[in-house]
Chain A
Amino acid sequence: MMKRALILPLLAVGALAACTPTVRVKVDPINIYAKLDANVRVQLDKEVQSAIQQNPNLF
């Protein structure tokens, strides 16, 4: 029982250590917009709409 408690963390550490050389260059972009509160999203959509209209040279 005590042995297992010791071995498991050691295994975990070993597994992590095995991964260290891996460098993830590209992180998947997350859709933050979809996670926003509904009220915030409505407000944001309004702001976005006017921003698009006010900047015809960019959109």
Chain B
Amino acid sequence: MIRKTMTVLALAAGLGAVALAPAAFAQSAAAKAAVDAGKASGTVGEQADGFLGVVSGGDAATRAAVAEINAGRAAVYKDTAAKSGVTAEAAGQATAKQLYARLAPGQYWKPLDGGWTKK
């Protein structure tokens, strides 16, 4: 069983090395699922800076997923900023504005100048 897992992992690692996408992308779907579950349960929220935050509690897996998605987002903001000639921070805030619109009522939001609030 363990050997099988190791083989699968080795294969996945090999594939990841071949793929042009960063290694983090291989995990992204799982991280996204964990983050979405966290958002639905009120553990994870969206922040006005364009990044995810842990509202309260949150197990290690949730925190890791949040960190992973945030790393991916940071790269996107940098890219978007370069395209529009603004800072990555501005790109993050602009994205947050659109993400707030997509946030379901009851989910958590953190404005730039305050604490977690329920939408």
Residues of chain A touching chain B, judged by Cβ–Cβ distance below 8 Å, are 28-33, 36, 40-41, 43-45, 47-49, 51-52, 55-59
Contact = CB atoms under 8 A, between A and B. Distances in A.
Contacts, number: 70
Contacts of B79: 51
Contact of B72 (A30, A47, A55): A55
A22 B59 CA distance: 35
Contact of B84 (A40, A56, A58): A40
- Consensus secondary structure, chain B interface: helix
B113 A32 contact: no
A12 to B, nearest CB: 30
Interface of B: 25, 28-29, 31-32, 48-49, 69, 72-73, 76, 79-80, 83-87, 89-91, 93-95, 97-99, 102, 112-113
Given A33-B93, A47-B91, A57-B25, 6 more contacts: A30-B112, A33-B97, A40-B84, A48-B95, A51-B80, A59-B102
B33 to A, nearest CB: 10
Nearest to B70: A58
Contact of A32 (B31, B83, B87): B87
